[in-house]
Structure 1
Amino acid sequence: MGRGRRLKSYLDYENALGDGIGVGYGQSYQPWLRAQDVKSRGNRSIVFGLKTFRNHHHGV
């Protein structure tokens, strides 16, 4: 079961933006949705991006 981010109120949303979630460019970007945020069949991979120089989470 994914743990997810708890964005139930506007204050939670503002706190996430303040923490740098969903903002940034290239290596400093932190996505809203991660592989551990959603249910899967247990397979996931983390691939290092050569253009962005950050990890990309892929769930299957």
Structure 2
Amino acid sequence: MSKNGIRYSEEFKQVEADKLKAEIKRFTESRCRYGAPKIQKVLKDRGKHISLKRIQRY
């Protein structure tokens, strides 16, 4: 794989991580109580399969 391909995939992963962080932040800033398991269930219902540990990191 070329350096450009690696750089593109790293940038793509970073963009996806930033989107995920923003989505999780909306849950944590709301007045409702959302823990990591509840956030994971909501995201799973929306079609995004993300591990519980990853959600806890953010």
TM-score bracket, normalised by the shorter chain, equals under 0.3
The answer to which structure, 1 or 2, has the higher relative contact order (CA under 8 A, 6+ apart) is 1
Greater strand content? 1
Tell me which structure has the larger Cα radius of gyration.
2
